[in-house]
Structure 1
């Protein structure tokens, strides 16, 4: 099961609510890593993605092999969907589950939430009921883009596996290989005059394994590191790679599950297209035996992925209740 977005309250690196709501604090001159995948030296690529995963938990990749024209088509189709009248968007509205279209404003933390979410792979989990029929090119473009994202995901997981001293397919296999679930969430953030107070997406880590995201040209994505928020610079046609909870747990904490958030813009619409990759819900996930030992005992409990999701959502609910009791509704 792929979950949409959540808030990990179990990690000591979780920023406090006050830091989540504070204005952007940039981390000096440090930049989120950018890795050029056109480099022919594979050892160099392994070193770069491993270093970024250990130090940041997020990085951008350029020259990744996904056609620029296809990425543009994906973004055009997504924007056209959100430009539709509400009645047409409601044709793929959620019906109690997590797939479909939703529009909501969440109080407590000023958080605007409008998105479309649906599974992409494997074929057995796809429900085209939640795929828009308008714009008409949506399905064709999304399916073609998914093929490229799956290849890129396997490459990145392969380099990370090699960097851990494992076989190239180790991480891919440990999140389910061909049964791993891919899901797309298109986030729509309208402009707001109070962008310094309105968080498009509150600080969270992704509960799955890894996410690959493309944004439009409007900046807003931020990563939390060393008690500071860092802006991710917009790079045309780059893909943002975000490590989630399960890669942290599989690697016994060697790789970071980065906390990140999205800020709204005062004047422009911001849209992002993250694809989440997660194990199926009946898979057991925990530290790999090859990465633990007497000098590095397991730091995390091995759990069925569905049980992990339940525990995390309960923790999120408790944190939300605590925040409502301890903090004012306006900032």
Structure 2
């Protein structure tokens, strides 16, 4: 693997600045990050470090609950409000991955486990903050594409009361033989953006220029990657990024992500403004719900779901 490479850094305070020059410059940087990496760090985002720390602690406390206390959430259905387990898709995965997970549908309907007792309050505030951040980033991304500031949010209803947000926490315990195991195999995410933080233990790798790059986040930063629905919407200009999680034999790694998308029954297709007349539409349209169902019906493997929507050239 290549030495660690610096990923793009977006200063969120400049994106929201009243200085048009600073904001324009940051939008250009954001567009370049989406175009060249599909991945970037966000600093000066305004989310309190205490809230981030509380979210990590509450997540650790959930994973520390006794098995019988978590058993009620061991469902396998995609739209169960809360699910926890040890694999991406227990129905089709051939091998179990070296991780435990917790998945919660937090918007449009907020859900939270009853235990730990402080989890629900922290989760609700954390998800509201990341939703606000995602909406602001999407405004900047719209402008970077030469579209109106609110194009993505209005076309897909991302800021509506029915928009979809999924909270996903992964816990990767120390693995005796990390070279023989995988936390998560290479995959891309559904949705427009995923906003991620972790507990200070490295393990996230991103595919860049055909090589895996180990990500070393700046303190108190968020990691953001573009999802499959960003690739569909932009007709392939801003591609979703392949990433994976590797494990180690020394320390437990916690990662916490929120996936941001449109209402479940929204049809996502390439924006006509981004479809060149000579090239045509690259992807079929699909509702967000149907895409999630398609993804769940397959084992986690690269961008196989997105490839099924691609027109043959």
TM-score range, shorter chain: 0.7 to 0.9
Q: Could you state the TM-score of these two structures normalised by the residue count of structure 2?
A: 0.85
* Correspondence 1:143 to 2:118: no
Q: Of 141, 147, 168, which aligns to 2:149?
A: 168
Gaps of 5+ in 1: 1-24, 321-331
> Counterpart of 1:141 in 2: which secondary structure?
helix
Once residues 168 and 30 of structure 1 are traced to their aligned partners in structure 2, the CA distance between those partners, rounded to angstroms, is 31
Task: Please name the residue that 1:83 is paired with.
Answer: 64
| CA deviation map 1:261-285 (0-9, x unaligned) | 0111211000111001122332111
Q: 1: distance between equivalents of 2:76 and 2:284? A: 33
The one-character-per-residue Cα deviations of 1:32-88 (angstroms, maximum 9, x if unpaired) are 212222334101110111101000111110111111111111111101111122122
Q: CA 1:245 to 1:134, structure 2 compared with 1: closer, same or farther past 3 Å? A: same
Match of 2:99 in 1: 113
Give the secondary-structure state (helix, strand or coil) at the position aligned to 1:301: coil
Deviation of 1:198 (Å) = 1.4
> What's the CA shift for 1:176?
2.2
Q: Is the aligned partner of 1:57 residue 2:43?
A: no
Match of 2:245 in 1: 262
Cross-structure match for 2:184: 201
Helix, strand or coil for the counterpart of 1:276? strand
Segment drifting more, 294-303 vs 158-167: 294-303
Q: 2: distance between equivalents of 1:154 and 1:318?
A: 27
1:288 and 2:271 equivalent?
A: yes
The runs of 5 or more residues in structure 2 that have no matched partner are: 303-313
What is the RMSD of the two structures over their aligned residues, measured on CA atoms? 2.2
Question: What does 1:1-331 align with in structure 2 at a 5 Å threshold?
Answer: 25-26=1-2, 28=3, 30-39=5-14, 40=17, 41-94=22-75, 96-97=77-78, 98=80, 99-104=82-87, 111-123=97-109, 126=110, 128=111, 131-177=112-158, 178=160, 179-313=162-296, 316-317=298-299
Q: Distance in 1 between matches of 2:299 and 2:55?
A: 34
Assess, with a 3 A threshold, how the Cα gap between structure 1 residues 223 and 190 changes in structure 2: closer, same or farther. Answer: same
Partner SS state of residue 89, structure 1: helix
Question: Cα deviation per residue 1:116-162 (whole Å; 9 max; x = unaligned)?
Answer: 11111113xx4x3xx22222110111111111111101110000001
Q: Is the 8 A contact 2:9 2:41 kept in 1?
A: yes
Q: Is the 8 A contact 1:175 1:209 kept in 2?
A: no
Give the Cα–Cα distance (whole angstroms) in 2 for the partners of residues 71 and 313 of structure 1: 29
Contact 1:109 1:202 in 2 (8 A): no
Check conservation: 2:41, 2:217, Cα contact below 8 A: no
State the match for 1:5 in structure 2: none
**Higher relative contact order (Cα pairs below 8 Å, separated by 6+ residues):** 1
Aligned to 1:160, the other structure's residue is in SS state helix
Deviates more, 1:197-206 or 1:295-304: 295-304
Question: How many angstroms does 1:186 deviate by?
Answer: 0.8
Is the Cα–Cα contact under 8 Å of residues 218 and 265 in structure 1 kept in the other structure?
Answer: no
- Find the aligned partners of 1:144 and 1:263 in 2 and give their Cα distance: 29
CA pair 96-195 structure 1, distance change in 2 beyond 3 A: same
Count the aligned residue pairs: 289
